[in-house]
Amino acid sequence: MRTETGPVFRLEDYRPTPYAIPVTKLDFLLEPTKTVVRATLSIERRPQTPPGTPLILDGDALQLVSVSLDGRELGGNSFIATPERLEINDLPESGCFTLEIVTQINPTTNRQLSGLYRSSGVYCTQCEAEGFRRITYYYDRPDVLSVYTVRIEADRDAAPILLSNGNPVESGAVEAVAGRHFAIWHDPHPKPSYLFALVAGSLGVVKDHFTTQSGRAVDLAIYVEHGKEERALYAMDALKRSMRWDEEKFGREYDLDIFNIVAVSDFNMGAMENKGLNVFNDKYVLADPQTATDADYAGIEAVIAHEYFHNWTGNRITCRDWFQLCLKEGLTVYRDHEFSADQRSRPVKRIAEVKLLKSQQFPEDGGPLAHPVRPRQYSEINNFYTATVYEKGSEVVRMIRTIIGPELFRKGMDLYFERHDGEAATIEDFIKVFADVSGQDFSQFALWYDQAGTPTVRASFSYDAEEASFTVALSQAIPPTPGQATKKPMHIPVAFGLIGPDGQDLQPSSIEGGMVRDGVIHLRHAEETITFHGIHERPVPSLLRGFSAPINLVAALSEHERRFLALNDSDPVARWQAMNDIFMQALLDGAKRTRDGYSPQVDNIVTELVGRVAFDDAIEPAFRALCLTLPSESDIAREMGRNVDPDAILASRQHLIGVIASSHADRFAAVYDDLRQEEAFSPAAAPAGKRALRNVLLDYLSLYENDPARAARQFGQADNMTDRAAALAVLVHRFGDTQPAHEALASFEQRFGHDALIMDKWFVVQATRPGENALDNVRALMEHPLFSLDNPNRVRGLIGAFCASNPTGFNRKDGAAYEFFADMLLSIDPENPQLSARLLTSLRSWRSLEDVRREHVRSALARIASTSSLSSDLRDIVERTLA
């Protein structure tokens, strides 16, 4: 394993490889601790490469057995092999040759979960970004595309299922060795090494079929642990819906005869789009009403779609280099967002996206780990699978669509597929298709890929009744970020409306200054003033409708105007935002008063507004649930920005919940009873929305009643996991020391204690219980037989949830939890650096804490940084966090 921060890689240093590898044959002899890999590579010197140029392939922790050139085994002085590199100097004059490399690897001791490893005994691979070099020496980079044929040989009993990319060619018994069998797979589509996959083991399967638009019959299969087949049916349904949707919305058909998905229980990320053989974290496959919440169902649908959509945006067109990661990730997130919006409620989905962006990406963009959507340098690529690349990357694609409109956007996407199919492309290629179809200049827009930091747009307004004109003054500012002190103004599409007193948008007779088209202000300068004429009544301006750009908007509106927007805006996202802004102001005031030793005060305007939304049956329940959910403690901390005291924030939030609940208790109770589900459980969006609303009300009511009885009743009667988990959260978080809370935890464990994935919810709910005792509870839970520092889902469920989602418990004032966290990271890091590095990012906003806590964090970070033999992953994060 690499232990020091390695070299820094820079975008400007990109060069194509001197050789191509048009054909790759891999032969695996699978054994638990001694797997032999024979790679037979057809290699061609590229036309521009001078003869005599050495061939230098990547490796990572590899043990070379032998290397042969055109059938002759090479002696020790004709090559240089280290675990990280294979260099061959004496190559045939012709430039075309066959290289055979034999390596030996140990899948059982591979706990990094990168390369070939075993999960519950099943052999599986994860090669993105640089895991393939842990299997064999190769050009392990995305711009080297090759046609793969893979032969897998293994024990028939241990591994009856043998899978790889592409289509099956042949399988059977190995004559020479009793009990062994083999399978051969061929993938006709040239692909980079990061899309290679192999799975071998004993697995249950669910099968289905899909016929594409043009009539291709595709066999679908989802492989899971034996006995869990039923829990893969929803994922299968989501897969078929995704395949149809991509045909209808993007004209993209599937291109092999078979599509396999395998769920494994040890996985660093969500899932992986390997060609024809997606490998998934089982969290994103397994669901049934008793074990999965509505959020789990939505997550499965989204990730299944995401990986499937990568077949075109990622696999058919891949990335030239890892700096272009957002080319496939941002675009594919955009596509899965649109899919979910079409399958569910579009406004509710959009608000969920905005919440995620603000809670995950904004803090990243505003802290020490800020980086552009397309970074220009990295020292560890695994640390760039970030909210910025994924979520902001998706917002950038959405803005392109907003700027040129849906028809031209589709035309541009068609051109992208036509022009770049089979290539490893760049962001410049992507932008150019939209410039070409629209005739517009995207050079300023391209700054979205290069400038880090969340722009702040300030808006002020004036109305001239005599002239019947309304003026909007806008300014933009982008804060400095690491390595980027000054920024240029960006092209920010601000969707807007001017709402008249009757709630209808007013139409100006003419517009002066600035560029305004189809309800969008295109802000392109540091400051712009736009005057709308023919506005005969004073309007309330609604800006950033649909959250049309990933910015912080600071609009000079009165509380009255915000309330008007919350009740009247025709755009649901802006409506929700207005509600949220009103809550936020009350919460910030409350936290400040608490910190200064006063008790919080809440204006009637807030409680009255809540009632108007909560009891409006014309609004869909899921949207009401979102509007009634107060900003989280982390949201409030982020808004505060500095001198953050998590205890004051919690107190303020509890106070507001209490005030709202006591103003509406009776009617909340009536709505709660009314929403009781009568029909059989369905995970569909509409019934899920009712559950969401009911469970928000459960929390308000329980706090008001100061009694666990209602939640205990719901827990006992629940026929689905959403209602059960919501009741459990209320019991543990609000009444954690009472008998009903203890009983509910015990009954949950009794029922689900055999299944670690389901028990993750039990760990999370306890890890996120607010208050000083959380750390002791977490320590105690680590002794639970199901807990393991070895499994990423367990670690994220207990330690990750504690650090990222328990502000008061984690930030206890004596700093003990920071030291605990450092200890955990240092023990995870030697085993699984991707996991330790990812966990540490939860400290990215440490500088905004008040002094005492901030100094505790600083010393915990310093202790990590001063540890020798850190992984390059963790070292990169800790150094940037401290910088």
Q: What is the spatial distance between Cα 599 and Cα 412, in angstroms, rounded to a whole number? A: 56
Cα 115 from chain centre: 22
One-letter amino acid for residue 754 of the chain: H
User: Is 307 a catalytic site residue?
Assistant: yes
- The residue (of 425 and 636) whose beta carbon lies closer to Zn ion is 425
Pair 672, 699: CB distance under 8 Å: no
One-letter amino acid for residue 139 of the chain: Y
Q: What is the spatial distance between Cα 324 and Cα 5, in angstroms, rounded to a whole number? A: 22
For position 307 contacting ligand ARG by CB under 6 A, the verdict is: yes
Least distance CB 637 / Zn ion (angstroms): 29
Single residue of 272, 373, 630, 636 touching ligand ARG by CB under 6 A: 272
Single residue of 164, 318, 382, 629 touching ligand ARG by CB under 6 A: 382
Cα 547 from chain centre: 19
Give the binding range for ligand ARG (CB under 6 A) out of 243-251, 264-272, 316-324, 766-774: 264-272
- The residue (of 269 and 435) whose beta carbon lies closer to ligand ARG is 269
- The residue (of 124 and 726) whose beta carbon lies closer to ligand ARG is 124
SS3 breakdown of the chain: % helix, strand, coil, rounded to 5? Answer: 45, 20, 35
Pair 109, 33: CB distance under 8 Å: yes
Single residue of 329, 338, 569, 876 touching ligand ARG by CB under 6 A: 329
Residue 278 has which token pair?
């997606």
Give Cβ neighbours of residue 13 (< 8 Å, ≥ 6 apart): none
Q: Which does 16 bind (CB under 5 to 8 A by kind): Zn ion, ligand ARG, none?
A: none
Least distance CB 332 / Zn ion (angstroms): 5
- The residue (of 113 and 759) whose beta carbon lies closer to ligand ARG is 113
One-letter amino acid for residue 625 of the chain: A
For position 273 contacting ligand ARG by CB under 6 A, the verdict is: yes
Beta bridge partners of 126: 115
Write out the binding residues for ligand ARG, residues 813-852 only, by CB under 6 A: 834
Catalytic residue among 31, 307, 395, 528: 307
Q: Are strands 217-224 and 258-264 parallel, antiparallel or unpaired?
A: parallel
Give Cβ neighbours of residue 498 (< 8 Å, ≥ 6 apart): 470, 505, 506, 508, 532, 535, 539, 540, 541, 542
Using Cβ positions, the residue closest to ligand ARG within the complex turns out to be 385
Q: Count of CB atoms within 10 A of residue 509's CB?
A: 11
For position 268 contacting ligand ARG by CB under 6 A, the verdict is: yes
Least distance CB 70 / Zn ion (angstroms): 39
- The residue (of 206 and 271) whose beta carbon lies closer to ligand ARG is 271
Q: Which does 639 bind (CB under 5 to 8 A by kind): ligand ARG, Zn ion, none?
A: none
Give the binding range for ligand ARG (CB under 6 A) out of 204-212, 266-274, 765-773, 778-786: 266-274
For position 269 contacting ligand ARG by CB under 6 A, the verdict is: yes
Least distance CB 834 / ligand ARG (angstroms): 6
Pair 367, 303: CB distance under 8 Å: no
Q: Which does 271 bind (CB under 5 to 8 A by kind): ligand ARG, Zn ion, none?
A: ligand ARG
Nearest CA among 715, 616, 708, 603 for reference residue 655? 603
Could you report how far apart the first and last alpha carbons of the chain are, in Å?
25
Least distance CB 826 / ligand ARG (angstroms): 21
What binding mask, one character per residue, do residues 103-142 give for ligand ARG by CB under 6 A, x or -? -------------------------xx-------------
- Measured in degrees and rounded to the nearest 5, phi and psi for residue 651 equal -60, -45
Q: Which does 129 bind (CB under 5 to 8 A by kind): Zn ion, ligand ARG, none?
A: ligand ARG
- The residue (of 335 and 432) whose beta carbon lies closer to Zn ion is 335
- The residue (of 386 and 808) whose beta carbon lies closer to ligand ARG is 386
The CA–CA distances, whole Å, from 505 to 130, 328, 455, 571, 675 equal 52, 38, 27, 11, 34
Residue with tokens 């019991």: 731
Pair 364, 877: CB distance under 8 Å: no
Pair 645, 695: CB distance under 8 Å: no
What binding mask, one character per residue, do residues 299-338 give for Zn ion by CB under 5 A, x or -? ------------------------------x--x------
Least distance CB 93 / Zn ion (angstroms): 43
| Active-site residue set | 307
Residues of the shown chain interacting with Zn ion in the complex, contacts defined by CB under 5 A? 329, 332
Residues of the shown chain interacting with ligand ARG in the complex, contacts defined by CB under 6 A? 128-129, 268-273, 306-307, 329, 382, 385, 834
